[in-house]
Structure 1
């Protein structure tokens, strides 16, 4: 697909700040997750002396249990809690050393398989050069989300980071968006939100009057996501943003940053 504008009035005026989601917006989540979970399950099977399929089933059930108990909170995404509960489901009681080992194995493997989408870094650098504010709203606990941003070398690309742990609630609840807006100190009507999830990112941002941009997978067949823009390529978004079509954005700044 190419970049699709659904609401010219919302995106042909330069924002003062852009808020980004992280997972599946700046990088592809599924492959690193699959590799990391497989590595943790292999280690668990070896350390606990349990068949691989039993480990896999216990961890899947543990994830459901944790999410059901904690609801839409940062801790509901905790691999540490998934592994603790999974080991207990396997009848091994609480095994703190193994649980910590599995969590470290998961995230070490996860990060080693992560890659930013093409054009992300260049777009962020161009925004910085143009004086446009930047922030992140992301679900999960702060420590691992901070580690991801640092791993990608993007820690100097954002003015503010808001995690659902800090906000006390996951998207699309109001708290993370309200906290990011307060930190930026900018009228929401002059803010863009870029994310991959029609509900968590797009529907969550819309009540504030924020302009919404949905990153979709390539060859995506359009759906009514209620967003102002759909795109699948940050390089194309970069070119659009600095093309002169967005009023108040300097073409020179975008070209200089590339």
Structure 2
């Protein structure tokens, strides 16, 4: 089911919420574009090569890493993207510069995040109703933990499952099943599960055991 705001989703009858993070609770594209500009600006100063060449290196490395690690959290690794960029530009693995540029991206990205207006009211309703909430998110665990801390939403989640922990990315059933198994520790009787996210190809789960209602939030449409 498509919804235009998170608050259109009813908490009634739900025993467990499996909730996405990126572009569901805050806008991904805005943060990524800002952070990438900062990364490339810092790289241009450090390496003294053209912005055009840096863009070529970055996107070539992103493509190579995504292909090499397809279906896993490492396909999103900015650390690997930046490592490839620096190695192409300098002919060496300059660990200090790689870490500096990696933090130029993530530090700016995380500082730039803002929750969507409907995020907290939505989360508050589930917390008030006592419904367990598990974040199910593709990405490296450390990065997602930093995002949650910056957004100050950790208190709304009972558990988190990242694709790094699961070893697979959505929509693989295992990442959702891992989340459900965590929730069963605090709520042994589950019948009705809600899955909420922005990606119609990834935020989807079916089960022969549970009733699953899938909601796709329309962001940036």
Length-normalised TM-score, structure 1: 0.77
Cross-structure match for 2:146: 147
1:85 aligns to what SS in structure 2?
helix
Task: Tell whether the 8 Å contact from 1:16 to 1:191 is kept in structure 2 after alignment.
Answer: yes
Post-superposition offset of 1:12: 8.9
Post-superposition offset of 1:89: 2.4
Alignment CA distance shift 1:140-1:3 (3 Å): closer
Cross-structure match for 2:21: 22
Q: Distance in 2 between matches of 1:188 and 1:216?
A: 28
Return the index of the structure with the highest Cα Rg.
Answer: 1
1:216-243 Cα shifts (integer Å, max 9, x gaps): 136x4xxxxxxxxxxxxxxxxxxxxxxx
1:19 aligns to what SS in structure 2?
strand
Q: Distance in 2 between matches of 1:24 and 1:89?
A: 31
1:50 aligns to what SS in structure 2?
coil
1:107-146 Cα shifts (integer Å, max 9, x gaps): 1110121111112112212211111111100011111101
What aligned pairs does 1:234-253 form with structure 2 within 5 A after superposition?
A: none
Task: Tell whether the 8 Å contact from 1:189 to 1:211 is kept in structure 2 after alignment.
Answer: no
Q: Distance in 2 between matches of 1:189 and 1:75?
A: 33
Please point out which of 189, 192, 195 is paired with 1:193: 195
1:156 aligns to what SS in structure 2?
helix
Post-superposition offset of 1:163: 0.4
Q: Distance in 1 between matches of 2:190 and 2:157?
A: 17
Q: Distance in 2 between matches of 1:3 and 1:29?
A: 18
Q: Distance in 2 between matches of 1:105 and 1:12?
A: 39
Matched length: 210
Task: Tell whether the 8 Å contact from 1:77 to 1:140 is kept in structure 2 after alignment.
Answer: yes
Query: Could you list the runs of 5+ residues in structure 2 that have no partner in the other structure?
Result: 5-9
Q: Distance in 1 between matches of 2:136 and 2:164?
A: 11
